Structure formats: C-alpha cells, structure tokens
Structure 1
Amino acid sequence: MHPVVKPALRRGWRDLNTVQFGMTPAQALTLGPVDTATGSFLELLDGTRGLELLRAQGPRMDLPGNQVDRLVRRLARAGLLDDARGGGPAADALREKREVMERLGPDLASLTLTTSEPGEALRRLAARRETRVQVRGAGRVGSVLAALLSGAGVGGVEVRDVGQVEPWDVTPGGLPAEAVGERREAAVRRIVRRAAPDRPPRRAERPRLSADTPCFSLVVLAPRDDVAVHAPDPVSAEPLLASGTPHLYAGVVEGTGVVGPLVLPGETGCAGCLQQHRTDRDPVWPRLVAQWRSGRKHRMTACDLALATTVAGLAAAHVLAFLDGRLPSSAGARWEVALPGLDWHARRVLAHPACPCGAAEKGKGEHTSGQGRSHETMAVHGPPEGSLHEAHAQRPAGTWRAHV
C-alpha cells in the first residue's frame, strides 16, 4: 500500500490543533487534537511512499513504527486515505494510460469521495471500461446521455434509434448541426467514439449485440416520443424483464423532465406497475393513453434544450452510480422537474400486485436507495503528546451490482 490523503478533499486548519478535511457537509470531517508530529506526518501521505518507508521515517518525526501503522489504518477506516497503487490489475493497466488518466482525473477524484476502501475508486473506474450500456433513443436527451456515459469511461455504449437526424435534434454536447440528414445511429455512434477517453481492448468473444440481446449491464429508455416518456409502454420492456436486465427511463414531456424509475426486474416497480397504479387512481387513464398513442403525430414536440440537457446529465449520473455498484434514488421512483419552477421531486413507483413483473410477490416493491451516510466514530491516537479523534467514515450504499 502507498497511502495518500485523498487530494479531492481540501484541507484547512480550524485552529492550531484541529484540521478539517473537505468543505461540504456531505464530505467534511475534522481531526483533532493533532500534535506537531502527526500534522507533519500527514504531509508524507502523498502516495510516493510505501508503508515500509513510512515506518522508517516515522521515528525521525517522533512516531514509532507501530504508531505509524495504527495511524494509517485508522485514517483508512475513516475514509481519508486512498492507495496510489491499489485497485488490482485492471487499475494498474489504466494507470499506464497517461492521457486517459488525465481525461478521467476529475471522475477519479469524485469516486474517491464516495468510496472508503483504499484503491477502490480506481478499481471502479477501470471496471466501467468493461460495462455495456444501451441507450434506446437518439434525440436531445439520448444523444447527450450517450456522450456523457462514453466520456465518463463506460467502455461499451450502444445507441439504438431509427430515421435521420432532424434540425431540432441538434444539441450542444449531442448531435451536431453537420449531422442533419444522417442516419441517427451512425451519427450518435460517431459522437460516442469522439467522447470516449480511450477505446478499451475489444473482446474477441463479444459479437455485435442486437436491440433485444440481454447482455447489457443497463438499458436506458430515452424515447423522442413524449407520450412514451409520460406513459411508457410495458410491452416494450417485457424482454428486459424476462432477461433480468435493469433499465432506466428518462425523457422530456411538455416541459417536464423525467428520470426514472430504475427498474430492477423482480425487485422494484416497473412500467407495468406504473400503469396499473395510474389506472387505479384514474379509471379513464387507459382510454387517454390509447388516444395519445394513436392520435395524429405532432411534428414538433416541446423539449426545452436546457431541460433536456439537465435530464441527460441526471440520468447519466444515476447510470454511473448503478454501474459503480450503488443504488441510486431512481430505483422505484420517478424524479420529475417542470418548467418554469424547476423544483425536483420524486414520485414513488411501487410494485403492483396485478403486474406480472412479480416484484410485489417478492415483497420488495418499496426498494429504497439507501441514501444518506453511515457514520462510524473512532479515536485515531497519535503519540503521547496528542491524538486524533472524531473521524467519521462513509460507507457505500446499495447492494445491487451491475453485471460486467
């Protein structure tokens, strides 16, 4: 282990004996009292020294070798340390790609803030390169979403859609103006390639996947049709439910942005559950949906550019959280935000007993995201002159893991 105090956490001294790591309430913690020897030793935790060298230098700073081990161990438990050489073989291979690491540096720094195990952040970043995500829909939301996922290091991003790029599809960060008239899939495929910090090694055993092949870590349904956003068709998701493929809904309808639900087949409410609950509350709901779906197609639907980009960004964040092994708050819920107030709120999507998805039968229809921080208080003792204490550890939330 080559311990390094997480560089993403800004450090400041609250007084002569107390140091604060982090600025925001979600991350900040204080350590104190910190004596001079311990404060100087913290400066050595920069990732350039292994434990053996740190043990050798400790006595020169009035820190015996056993105190060095205890301090490093407890700082790691507090979530303050990373391992500059940790993460396993895949992480080692990624470290060798200097340009890729420079591109993904901010993403890696962010991951260190949500992981507590030294070396875990780079391991998860490297694992993204082996995941495959399919985005169904290449409009203002889907194209930006696909580019974001690719730029964040997801190794396989496939986009499925039909038709040609229209002038109103052009979006900063998504489809460019020069793509108008091209096939949607071809245009977005080029965007995904350009956004990627690096193309991971191609696996010989991976064939090209069709739209219904259940070999994705996650499928995002981002339709350009606003009716499909507001009232997703349960039939279109049946192959995903049957194959156990997690899927997330996202889109814009009449000035309202929607992210969710994230459907974990057999565990959280799905599009069919959403439809059943709406019908229970409003018996004429199926009649309205049938009219919306069969009515005259609108040539131009309402899709505010800034709102669509916001939805794409939030959806991408939820996808990445899931791929990194966490359970985002969209599991069993739809996050909605409407113009002009732009107040986000969540609408729960509970499992419905009449839905064939089976989530209600398993009693997991109220699956929660595990939000919030789990804290552990510990004493991190320094040399006889002083000590460190009150270090709060953050633990990962969620247990559902994406398939690689």
Structure 2
Amino acid sequence: MHPMLKPALRRAWRGRNTVQFGVTPAHAVKLGPVDIATGSFLELLDGTRGLPLLREEARALDLSDHQVDTLVRRLGNAGLIDDVRAGGPEAAALRNRADVLERQRPDLASLSVIHPEPGGGMRRLAARRAMRVQVRGAGRVGAAIAAVLSGSGVGRVEVLDGGVTEPSDVAPGGLPAAAVGERRDTAARQLVRRSAVGSTHRATGTADAAAGGTSAGGPSASGGPGLSLVVVAPRDGLAVYAPDPRAAEPWIASGIPHLYAGVIEATGVVGPLVLPGGTACAGCLALTRTDRDPQWPRMLTQWRSGRRNAVQACDLGLATAVAGLAAAHALSFLDGELPASTGARWEAALPLLDWRSEQVGAHLDCSCGAGGHTVGERPSGLGTTQDTMAG
C-alpha cells in the first residue's frame, strides 16, 4: 500500500489540534487531536512511500510503528486515504494511459471523494470503459447526454434517432451547426467520438427511431457487452412526461435499467430511473395517473395523435441543465449507486426552476412485477450498491 491523502479534499486547521478535510458538509471530515508530529507526518502521505518507508521516516518524528499504523487506519476508515496502486488490473491498465488520466483527473478526484475505499475511484473509472449505454434521442437533451457520458469514460455510447439534424437540434455540448442536414444518427456518432476519452471508445448510431429500434438487451450485434443502461431522451418531451409502456416492454423483459429525461412545455424532467422488477415503470406511471384522473388516457391519446410538427418549448438553458442532471444520475448508477431519480421523478419549470421530486410508486396491477418491492433495493441480477463515505 502507498497511502495518499485524497488531494481533492482541501485541508484546514480548525484550531491548534484539529484538522478538517473537505469544505462541504456532504464530504467534510474532522480529525483530532493532531499534535505537531502527527501534522508533520500527514505531509508524508503523498503516495510516493509504502508503509515500511513511512514507518521509518515517522521514527524521526518520534512516532512509533503502532502510531503510524493506527493513524493510517483511522484516516482510511474516515475515507481520507487513497492508494495509488489499488483498484485491480483494470485500474492498473488505466494508469498506463497518461492521455486518458490527464483529461479525467477531475472525474477521478470526484470519484475518490464519493467512494471511501483506497483505489475505489480509479476502479470505478476503469470499470466505465467496459460499459455500454444507449441514448434514445439526439435532440438538445439526448445528444448532450451522450456527449457527457462519452467524455466521462463510458466505453460504448450508442445513440438511436431518425431523420436529419435540424437547426433547432443544435446546442453547445450537443450537435454542432455544421451537422444541420446530416442524418441525426451520423451526427450523434461523430459527437460521441469527438467527446470520447482515449482511442478505444466505440460509438454507434442507428436510424431506428427513438420510439422503436433494435433489440433491447444482451450483447450487441458486434459481440460487445450487454446494455448497462438505456437513457430515454426523445426530442418530443411528451414521450418522457408520459412514456409509452409498450416501448419499455423489451427493457422490462430483459431486466435493463432505463432512465427518462427531457423537456416539455418549458418543464424539465429527469426520472424515473427504472430498475425492472424493483421500481415503478412507465406502466406503473400510466396506471397511477389514470387512477388519479380517469380522463387522462383520453387526453393522452389526443396529445399523441396531435400536431407532430409543433415547435417544442425546449429552452436551451433548461435542456442543458436537464442533460447534465440526467448524465450525472446515469453515471452515479453506472458507478454502483442508486441516485435520487431511482423510482422518482425530478421536475423544474421555467422561470423559477425550483427542482422538486415526486416518488413514483409501483402499481400493483402493473405486469412489471415491481408492486410490493422495496424502493432503494436493487433486484437480483443488477448488482449491489457500493458503500459511500460518511460525511
């Protein structure tokens, strides 16, 4: 072990014998009592020394081997220690990619703060490179989500959409003005490649429209990994606000997690993140709305069959905020957490932009089987939640 104090956490003395690591309440940790010798020893924890050398240099500070081991253990239990060599073989391989690490140091620093175990940040960053995510939609929201996921190190990002890029699709961080007139799938594929970290990234696009498309799960046609997540971000925000349960049936049947995100009538929507069999799905949402408002299905049919060429009220700032929040929730899930959108929907409407969340309960009459399952638990086969650092 080559212990290193996590550099992302700023350090400050609260008094003569107490050190605080971190600024914000979510991740700040206080350590005390700390005497002069211990404070000097903290400066040695920079990742360049193994424990034997640390013990040897600590003796010059009148610190015993037991004191050194106890202090390192306390720092580790508090989530303050990283190990520059930990994380497994995938992390070791990533450390040899200087071009990737230089670009992703902020991502790695963030992951090291969130995950307390030594090497936890590097291990998760390396794990992203083996994941496959599908984004359904290449408008102002979907294209930006795909770019962020690609730039965050997700190994394979696919974008499904049809038609050609229109001027209204152009957005900073999304499809560029030069893509107007090109096929949306082609433009999205190029965007993902430009955003990718390292040369091993694979980006695919397809002309299958966001409402339908290719097989929902399992290995890709080229023999790659199965889908880790589907992000549903169609250009028509109604398909997010009131998603069609039939479109999600293949994901439910295949056990593929999926997250909804979009903008409708100047209202941003992120969620729910659906864990098939564990949390409420689009069918649960439809049944619950019908229970509350029996006229809902009648109106929804009219809205879905109405003017297809109506201009979407999708403010650029709001679309960018939705894309960023959705991408952050997606990455949190891919890294092993259950973000706040799990079984819940976040909404914010212009002009006040007051983000509010509403729990989406599983409906007992829905065929997805989530009724009665405890929200916050992953159904079997979806992995386990990683431990998070106590603030």
TM-score by length of 2: 0.91
Q: Quick check: 1:249–1:262 contact (8 Å CA) kept in 2? A: yes
- 1:324 maps to which of 316, 328, 335: 335
Give matches, 1:4-153, under 5 Å: 4-153=4-153
Q: Secondary structure at the match of 2:14?
A: strand
Which residue does the alignment assign to 2:349?
Answer: 338
Give the CA deviation at 1:367.
3.5
Q: Structure 1: which amino acid aligns with 2:388?
A: P
The separation in 1 between residues aligned to 2:388 and 2:10, in whole angstroms, is 21
Corresponding residue SS for 1:15: coil
Equivalent residue, structure 2, for 1:225? 236
Taking the aligned partners of 2:133 and 2:294, their CA distance within structure 1 comes to 36
Q: Are the aligned partners of 1:79 and 1:115 in contact in 2 as well (CA < 8 Å)?
A: yes
Aligned counterpart, 1:212: 215
Q: CA deviation at 1:48?
A: 0.4
Deviations 1:155-186 (A, max 9, x none): 11000000000000000010000000000011
Conserved in 1, the CA contact under 8 Å of 2:3 and 2:46?
A: yes
DSSP-derived class of the 2:60 partner: helix
Report how far residue 213 of structure 1 moved: 3.7
Q: Which position in structure 2 is the counterpart of 1:258?
A: 269
- CA separation in 1, counterparts of 2:82 and 2:3? 6
Cα distance, 1:395 vs. partner? Answer: 4.3
Residue type of the alignment partner of 1:82: D
Task: Give 3-state SS (helix, strand or coil) of 1:72's partner.
Answer: helix
1:284 to 274, 284, 295: 295
Displacement of 1:199: 3.2
Change in Cα spacing, 1:19 to 1:267, as seen in structure 2 (3 Å) is same
Q: Secondary structure at 2:157's aligned position in 1?
A: strand
Find out whether 1:396 has 2:388 as its counterpart: yes
Is the 1:329–1:368 contact (alpha carbons within 8 Å) kept by the matching residues of 2?
no
Residue of structure 1 equivalent to 2:195: 195
Shift of 1:84: 1.0
Question: Which deviates more, 231-240 or 48-57?
Answer: 48-57
In 2, Cα distance between equivalents of 1:156 and 1:121: 20
Relative to structure 1, the CA distance from residue 228 to residue 365 in structure 2 (aligned partners, 3 Å threshold; closer, same or farther) is farther
3-state SS, counterpart of residue 140 of structure 1: coil
Q: Distance in 2 between matches of 1:62 and 1:366?
A: 52
- Contact kept in structure 1, 2:155 and 2:201, CA below 8 Å: no
Aligned length: 367
Could you tell me which residue of structure 2 aligns to residue 269 of structure 1? 280
Please tell me the root mean square deviation across aligned C-alpha atoms, in Å.
1.8
Q: Report how far residue 232 of structure 1 moved.
A: 0.5
How many Å separate the matches in 1 of 2:161 and 2:142? Answer: 10
1:365 CA displacement: 5.3
Gaps in structure 1 of 5+ consecutive residues: 370-393, 398-404
4+ residue runs over 4 A deviation: none
Q: Normalised by the size of structure 1, how large is the TM-score?
A: 0.88
AA aligned to 1:396 is T
Task: Give % identity.
Answer: 64
| Cα distance in 2 between the residues matched to 1:86 and 1:167 | 47
| CA deviation after TM superposition for structure 1 residue 295, in Å | 1.5
- Alpha-carbon distance change, 48 to 58 in structure 1, aligned in 2, over 3 angstroms: same
Following superposition, the deviation at residue 46 of structure 1 comes to: 0.3
User: Take 2:84 and 2:241, find their aligned partners in 1: how far apart are those partners?
Assistant: 46
- Tell me if the contact between 1:331 and 1:368 (Cα under 8 Å) persists in the aligned partners: no
